[in-house]
């Protein structure tokens, strides 16, 4: 069996950045595996602009951001296999992949980075009642049809879920001549970026129905109409609040979850909230030598941060390969009041760099608050925030020196400023 | 007399970047801008001034391509255009067909609709 130093699974933003980071740290035997015919991942279908502001200081279209990274990768000696699907990963880092040239191949890796991206939650995931006609799509699938292949999936559209893909598709379908009758969001706030509410809905007079969900889907062969209802504080539909829409298409933008298909066989522990792997400050899972990053670890809202996390995992994998990650005491990191998740879930002060970034999401829209990291009653780090909301990932920087001598659990909460 | 009664406050969500600042513009009775607050960077002020006078937008779409890995080439504008002209540009590019190879940044339609901006390729294909 062939043994490689580092194998990266997934050639999207996270995987490409991980490969470049590991290469720049001196790793010279890197294999990057991508299932699609070319590198770039989901950005290839995200033709709208707004990518790269943090990284390149300019707003690029998704395909342009991907191409810039692919070009950077091209100047390294990283080996890339496209049209190649990994079908098995074991805890001792045996990787089985298939492709048309080599067939079925198993290799061994000294370190593995999972940069596998995420999947869309579908109609089944939220148990929407009604008939099962054609014309009900996940927003991302409709986006791929339209932007990559040039097919419109419908003419009269309703969108369930105000995640960014749903909002972006509301604008995109409108520009291409469809009528978008509305967007329903079950929560009392939007899950999309505020700018997308403005430029994708308000600009085109598309109504946003907050605290509403789809309660009926009609049509025998093709979708003919839907009903939405207002929901109460328990998210239960309120009888008498029904609104009917005659539409031929319903796009679902109801959340993304990390694709963990490969994680089970390797017995990688998952976090209930992120639905991705439990990782430490080097993005290493609880299976030594297997790392995770990007949307395959937790779903991001900005690709720039996906790239950065890929770099963290790439650097982490090189540290592991050089035996720099020593077995040492580690602190567990938990979400407290107002926080839905924190990442990483463990920090090892001895192994960490001078400082590390804790990423988090909050449970609701809050103003004039502080993010506070505590060990027992002791405040370790604090940062004031004017406004925080679940749709935007927040970060809190923690310094190694501030963690010295601590034991047990760290809790990150939102406190009134 | 209450000074506030003579002014109007308008709140904007800045769309310049994903940060999405909430920017408040204070206008006098005649609609003149007295102050702009809440923007993190100067681009937010420009955005709000434009929104109050002549809203501008970026536009991305696709054109047909022959001989590429896919059948659509994503395109973007070299600059912003008046919001009300977006549909005109969509119309203007709807029949455009290019042939591979195309390099990222290639001009696909120059000076589209006489708006002084070009339609350019978002990627190579």
Interchain contact B72–A (C-beta under 8 A): yes
Give residue-wise pLDDT tens across range A334-351. 999 999 999 999 999 999
pLDDT of residue A352 exceeding 70: yes
pLDDT of residue B4 exceeding 90: no
Choose the weakest-confidence range: A164-173, A179-188, A191-200, A251-260. Answer: A191-200
Percent over 70 (pLDDT), chain A: 100
Choose the weakest-confidence range: A57-61, A93-97, A115-119, A265-269. Answer: A57-61
pLDDT given for residue B1 in this prediction: 44
Q: State whether A175 and B14 contact (CB < 8 Å).
A: no
Q: Do domains A1-120+256-325 and A328-417 have the same CATH topology?
A: no
Q: State whether A387 and B22 contact (CB < 8 Å).
A: yes
Q: Which fold has domain A1-120+256-325?
A: FAD/NAD(P)-binding domain (3.50.50)
- Stretch A398-415: mean pLDDT: 92
Contacts of B86 in chain A (CB under 8 A): 175
**Taking the domains of chain A in order of start, what are their residue ranges?**
1-120+256-325, 122-254, 328-417
Contacts of B77 in chain A (CB under 8 A): none
Q: State whether B86 and A175 contact (CB < 8 Å).
A: yes
Q: Which fold has domain A122-254?
A: FAD/NAD(P)-binding domain (3.50.50)
Average pLDDT of chain A, as a whole number = 94
Which of A118, A120, A164, A408 shows the shortest CA–CA distance to A292? A118
- Stretch B9-13: mean pLDDT: 87
pLDDT of residue A213 exceeding 80: yes
For B60-121, CATH gives 3.10.530.10
pLDDT of residue A95 exceeding 70: yes
**Taking the domains of chain B in order of start, what are their residue ranges?**
3-53, 60-121
pLDDT of residue A54 exceeding 70: yes
Percent over 90 (pLDDT), chain A: 85
pLDDT of residue B17 exceeding 80: no
Q: Which CATH number fits domain A328-417: 3.40.50, 2.60.40, 3.40.1130, 3.40.630?
A: 2.60.40
Residues of A with CB under 8 A from a CB of B: 37-38, 44, 47-50, 53, 59-64, 66-67, 146-150, 175-176, 193-195, 197-199, 203, 301-302, 387
Give residue-wise pLDDT tens across range B28-68. 888 888 889 888 888 889 889 888 889 999 999 999 999 99
Contacts of B59 in chain A (CB under 8 A): 175
Give residue-wise pLDDT tens across range A269-310. 999 999 999 999 999 999 999 999 999 999 998 899 999 999
- Stretch B67-74: mean pLDDT: 96
Which chain A residue has the Cα nearest residue B59?
A: A48
């Amino acid at each position: 069996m062939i043994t490689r130093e580092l194998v990266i699974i997934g050639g999207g933003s996270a995987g490409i950045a991980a490969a470049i980071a590991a290469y720049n740290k001196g790793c010279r035997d890197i294999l990057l595996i991508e299932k699609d015919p070319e590198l770039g991942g989901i950005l290839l279908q995200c033709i709208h602009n707004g990518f790269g502001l943090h990284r390149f200081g300019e707003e690029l279209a998704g395909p342009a951001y991907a191409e810039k990274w692919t070009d950077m990768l091209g100047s390294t000696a990283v080996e890339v296999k496209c049209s190649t699907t990994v079908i098995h990963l074991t805890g001792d880092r045996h990787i089985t992949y298939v492709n048309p040239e080599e067939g079925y191949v198993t290799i061994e890796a000294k370190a593995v980075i999972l940069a596998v991206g995420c999947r869309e939650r579908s109609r089944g995931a939220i148990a929407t009642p009604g008939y099962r006609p054609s014309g009900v799509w996940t927003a991302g699938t409709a986006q791929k049809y339209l932007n990559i292949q040039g097919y419109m999936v419908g003419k009269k559209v309703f969108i369930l879920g105000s995640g960014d893909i749903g909002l972006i598709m509301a604008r995109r379908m409108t520009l291409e001549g469809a009528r978008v009758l509305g967007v329903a969001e079950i929560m009392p706030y939007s899950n999309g970026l505020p700018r997308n509410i403005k430029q994708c809905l308000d600009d085109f007079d598309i109504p946003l129905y907050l605290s509403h969900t789809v309660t009926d889907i009609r049509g025998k062969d093709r979708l003919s109409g839907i009903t939405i209802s207002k929901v109460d504080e328990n998210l239960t539909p309120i009888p008498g609040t029904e609104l009917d829409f005659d539409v031929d298409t319903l796009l679902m933008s109801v959340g993304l979850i990390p694709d963990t298909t490969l994680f089970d066989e390797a017995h990688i522990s998952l976090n209930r909230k992120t639905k991705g792997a439990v990782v430490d400050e080097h993005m290493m899972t609880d299976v030594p030598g297997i790392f995770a990053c990007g949307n395959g670890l937790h779903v991001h809202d900005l690709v720039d941060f996906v790239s950065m996390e890929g770099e963290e995992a790439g650097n982490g994998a090189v540290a592991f390969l050089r035996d720099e990650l020593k077995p040492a005491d580690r602190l567990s990191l938990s979400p407290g009041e107002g926080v839905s998740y924190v990442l990483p879930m463990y920090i090892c002060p001895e192994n960490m760099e001078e400082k590390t970034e804790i990423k988090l999401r909050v449970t609701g829209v809050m103003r004039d608050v502080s993010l506070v990291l505590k060990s027992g009653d002791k405040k370790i780090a604090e940062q004031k925030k004017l406004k925080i909301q679940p749709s935007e990932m927040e970060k809190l920087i923690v310094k190694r020196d501030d963690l010295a001598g601590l034991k047990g659990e760290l809790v990150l909460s939102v406190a009134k400023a | 007399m209450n000074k506030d009664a003579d002014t109007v406050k308008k709140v904007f969500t800045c769309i310049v970047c994903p940060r999405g600042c909430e920017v408040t513009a204070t206008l006098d009775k005649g609609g003149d801008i007295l102050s702009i607050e809440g923007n993190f960077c100067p681009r937010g002020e420009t955005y709000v001034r434009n929104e109050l006078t002549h809203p501008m937008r970026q536009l991305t779409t696709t054109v047909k391509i022959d001989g590429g890995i896919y059948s659509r080439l994503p395109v973007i504008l070299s600059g912003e255009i008046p919001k009300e002209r977006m549909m005109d540009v969509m119309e203007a590019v709807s029949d455009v067909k290019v042939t591979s190879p195309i390099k990222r940044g290639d001009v696909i339609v120059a000076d589209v609709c006489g708006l002084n901006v070009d339609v350019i390729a978002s990627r190579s294909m």
